[in-house]
Structure 1
Amino acid sequence: MKDEEPRPEADEPFILDDPGRLKALAHPMRRRMLTHLNIHGPATSTTLGELLGAKTGTTSYHLRQLEKYGFIEEIPERSSGRERWWRRAPTPRDMRVPTPDQLPPEDRAVLAEFHRIGFEEDRALMERFPAAYRADPDWAKGSRGLARMTKEELNAFYDEYVALLLRHSHTAEDAPPDARPVYVRFFTLPADES
């Protein structure tokens, strides 16, 4: 995040209600870049361009947008000349998007685009799940269920779910050698609406 912004505690919920920051994440290439940096560690715009099939100028622009909003940072000790190395910046582990009513009407389209891109990613992951499960069911876990809850109970369940996820996950820096990055998704929706 920008130096003048206070950094929230690592495990406290952080609402991503700044439209600029939300817009920075509402772009497919930027999301793929962040995913790569999260999973594989530091990279240059050239490396990312080769991996994503994009020109270096394009990746450099998107990296600058991610840096502007505090999602990535340059690694000065690895950078030299025109080659700049980037890594994921320290961000809150419990980052949540706002509800539409928490944003002004003119910024709600950015939230909708953020969700649309995220759900496209989720669909692609779901399509990969059967093959991942066949290859190694110890690493590919799934759960489906139906529950009856009040809104308050659902909110409490969600908070407990996030706390459980944070308790059982590691950052890249503190992960044991046998830890792997795994995608984890959670969503609920009313079952009595079509």
Structure 2
Amino acid sequence: MKDDEPFVLNDPGRLKALAHPMRRRMLTHLNVHGPATSTTLGELLGAKTGTTSYHLRQLEKYGFIEEIPERSSGRERWWRRAEVPRDMRLPKPDEVPPEDRAVLAEFHRIGFEEDRALVERFPAAYRADPDWARGSRGMGRMTKQELNEFYDEYIALLLKYSHRAEDAPPDARPLYIRFFTLPADEN
């Protein structure tokens, strides 16, 4: 699979691996700060090493993280974010078997909790450095086809300007970027 091809996250096991708050926080930490050990992550997240080890193994099982053998020694294992497709998309509910739709719903619930926390942080981040905290709100009228095209172009633009950690210029910073649409004429 090419790096810029959409990858639909339709494997229930992989989706379930990402539908856990601690695992998501671990992935975020590895994404933003780079490699870490189970002990380091446990201290940062307020969890016991056994708990973080279990969650790290689940993330490894589904290919989201990998061990760094050259840094690991004895019981200390170092972990990093694995190479995953940059354009990872969720399946539509009707593309998921009925028995797995609760996992998709939980994935969304946890994600929107994270998003709500980011929205609450935005005003302070904007006051601190408006060159790094940008926001946009708008409304538009589009057909489903136009919305699909808009979304694909948005993803392409995101991929064009986003760097993987190892390829980023020295002055690049990790940024949270969110995009969502919903009909304005429904409650």
The structural deviation recorded for 1:164 is 0.2
Asked whether 1:10 is paired with 2:3, we answer yes
Partner in structure 2 of residue 173 of structure 1: 166
Report the Cα distance in structure 2 between the residues aligned to 1:9 and 1:71, rounded to whole angstroms. 17
Deviation of 1:10 (Å): 1.0
Alignment gaps of 5+ in structure 2: none
How far apart in 1 are the matches of 2:3 and 2:108? 23
Residue 35 (structure 1) aligns with: 28
> Under a length normalisation based on structure 1, what TM-score does the superposition of the two structures give?
0.96
For residue 46 of structure 1, the aligned residue among 20, 39, 49 is: 39
Runs of 4+ in 1 over 6 A off after TM superposition: none
**What is the TM-score when the length of structure 2 is the normalising length?**
1.00
Cα offset, 1:9, TM superposition: 1.5
Whole-angstrom distance in 1 between the partners of 2:77 and 2:166 = 21
Q: Which residue of 1 aligns with 2:67?
A: 74
CA distance in 1, matches of 2:81, 2:2: 17
| Count of residues in correspondence between the two structures | 187
* Aligned residue identity for 2:144: K
Distance of 1:9 and 1:34 partners within structure 2 = 22
Residue deviations 1:85-120 (CA, integer Å, cap 9, x gap): 000000000000101011110010000000000000
Q: Alignment RMSD, CA only?
A: 0.3
1:135 aligns with 2:128: yes
Q: Which amino acid aligns with 1:65?
A: Q
- Looking at structure 2, the residues matched to 118 and 161 of structure 1 have their Cα atoms a distance apart, in angstroms, of 19
- 2:78 is aligned to 85
Identity of aligned residues (%): 87
